[in-house]
Amino acid sequence: MKHILIVDDNKANLTAAKAALSDIYKTTAVLSGAQTLKFLEKNIPDIILLDINMPEMDGFEVLEKIKSTPEISHIPVIFLTADSDAETEQKCFDAGAVDFIAKPFVPAVMRSRIGRTLELEELRKSLANRLDEKIKEVSDIKSKSNKDVLTGLWNRAYTEEKVSELLAKGVKGALFMMDMDNFKAINDNYGHMAGDSTLKAFAEALQKYAGEDDVICRIGGDEFMTFVAEPSSKSALGKHAADIIAEVGYFLDNSKFETNSSVSVGIAQFPEDGGDFKSLYNAADKALYCVKQNGKNSYHFYSDQYAAENKRASNSVDLEYLREMMHRNDPGKGAYMLDFDNFHYVYNFIRRVVERHGEDVNTILFTLQNENADPSEIEQAVELLDRAIFTSLRKADVSARYSSRQVIVMLYDSKDNGGQICAERILSCYEKLYTGNLTFGYDIVKMENSGLMKNGRRNADSEVVKL
């Protein structure tokens, strides 16, 4: 039953109004504006019938206070007045009333106007609710489109937009670029469900240590990004990175993954290292690359790298000194062992040399043939194959792991059947080092014509890397 509050300083009018309405609505009657406001502190009627001419506080003053109180401002008000001139009518509507009823009351007219007002109010509420639902639906759709499906973190596009807004406002902060070291080995050895669980754990670690205003993002694959807003100090940023590395490391240890996986973090600060998102992103990416080239499983500030470069810039050297300094970093024995990303750069450089000078270069891909072997046994076998490659080849040859089961070797200046001879020599050395049952097959590609040569005596039906 709808609830109507009737306000009139004349008791006879109140009695007449209640008599006309009580059989249809729940009614409450008060005699003054002060009583009205006190009643509304704890009650929300569906409609208010408000007399205009009252002592101490007239109807217009009461309505003004109602409209200025958010909790009750939506209640429709119908004025009760003995004045039916156009000026009074206009004043009623200007004050915010939805209608007015002339005195003395005509019960049928009163009920009709109240009924119509309540119907319109129900329609207004219904439309408002539907609008709220649509706004929420649109908001949910937009939110989902801005989020990564697997982790629930923001995606790259939204993060760039949000961080750019914060930078434009002058919010100081730091951009963390992060990725999982050796993540592919988790997918290869334990399956994509294990890989997905690892990415979720990574995301949860970022959320655990994030502040209220931080923006956390999954860029894609095993790459993540966080904008840490208003950091207290550089040491606090370092601790933040160390906490993330340790948290993910704890998950990896408990998962018993035999993949030597970890987390690397590059950090760039605003405004010191970049004045906009793009420059800050590039600086953080360079800092991450520095971690990758120096052992992984750590964090690095771009500012530290920049300071080192500036130090070198302030201490110029001649070419002979630089050559000798770089030469001291080369142990000078065996094949040159690289990670796959750097192998890719070297490979493309050698390919240019071949195209220009016609050198003979062979690429050998060794593939483990035992698909269901224990991961720890696989790791041991591949490590011993690495050792066999290092000790069997020349300093001019280059090697890299492609995956936890495959190793690539590039042989420079290997003529005729030199590729097959080297491959057999490597496997012979491996068999002396390894006493288990895991074996490797190989395929050979000659670089000058990109022709696949199936001349390996232990060639397996395995995946061949497209170089």
Q: Is the pLDDT of residue 334 over 70?
A: no
Give the pLDDT of residue 464. Answer: 40
What percent of the chain has pLDDT above 70? Answer: 87
**Same domain flag for 305 and 186:** yes
**Same domain flag for 443 and 346:** yes
Q: Among 298, 313, 328, where does a domain finish?
A: 313
**Same domain flag for 308 and 179:** yes
**Same domain flag for 367 and 222:** no
**Same domain flag for 187 and 306:** yes
Beta strands in 321-373 (DSSP E): 336-338, 361-368
Q: Among 313, 348, 383, where does a domain finish?
A: 313
**Same domain flag for 203 and 288:** yes
Whether residue 148 lies inside any domain: the answer is no
Task: Spell out the residues 6+ positions from residue 99 whose beta carbon is closer than 8 angstroms to its own.
Answer: 78, 79, 113, 116, 117
pLDDT digits (tens, 9 = 90+) for 220-261: 999 999 999 998 888 899 999 999 999 999 999 999 998 989
Domain count, the chain: 3
pLDDT digits (tens, 9 = 90+) for 450-462: 333 344 445 544 4
pLDDT digits (tens, 9 = 90+) for 2-59: 999 999 999 988 988 898 898 899 999 999 999 999 999 999 999 999 999 898 899 9
Q: Among 105, 124, 143, where does a domain finish?
A: 124
Q: Is the pLDDT of residue 149 over 50?
A: yes
Q: What does the alpha-carbon distance between residue 3 and residue 46 come to, in Å, rounded to a whole number?
A: 5
Whether residue 319 lies inside any domain: the answer is no
31-45, 129-143, 226-240, 316-330, range with the lowest pLDDT:
316-330
CA 351 from centroid of its chain's CA atoms: 38
Whether residue 120 lies inside any domain: the answer is yes
Active site residue 222: yes
Whether residue 346 lies inside any domain: the answer is yes
**Same domain flag for 180 and 309:** yes
**Same domain flag for 160 and 106:** no
349: CATH: 3.30.70.270
Task: Spell out the residues 6+ positions from residue 322 whose beta carbon is closer than 8 angstroms to its own.
Answer: none
Beta strands in 94-229 (DSSP E): 99-102, 173-181, 215-220, 223-229
Give the pLDDT of residue 145. Answer: 75
**Same domain flag for 413 and 277:** no
Cis, bond preceding 76 (omega within 30 deg of 0): no
pLDDT digits (tens, 9 = 90+) for 298-310: 899 988 766 655 5
62: CATH: 3.40.50.2300
Whether residue 379 lies inside any domain: the answer is yes
Give the pLDDT of residue 457. Answer: 43
Q: What does the alpha-carbon distance between residue 385 and residue 379 come to, in Å, rounded to a whole number?
A: 10
**Same domain flag for 35 and 91:** yes
State the residue range of the domain holding 44: 3-124
Q: Which residues pair with 147 in a beta bridge?
A: 154
Whether residue 460 lies inside any domain: the answer is no
Whether residue 13 lies inside any domain: the answer is yes
**Same domain flag for 299 and 370:** no
The pTM score is 0.45
Rounded mean pLDDT of 273-301?
A: 89
Whether residue 130 lies inside any domain: the answer is no
In 3D space, the residue among 62, 108, 99 whose CA is nearest the CA of residue 81 turns out to be 99
Q: Is the pLDDT of residue 70 over 70?
A: yes
Q: Which is the catalytic residue, given 8, 222, 397, 443?
A: 222
Phi/psi of residue 284, each to 5°? -65, -35
Q: What does the alpha-carbon distance between residue 153 and residue 1 come to, in Å, rounded to a whole number?
A: 48
**Same domain flag for 99 and 162:** no
Q: What does the alpha-carbon distance between residue 101 and residue 18 come to, in Å, rounded to a whole number?
A: 15
Give the pLDDT of residue 176. Answer: 97
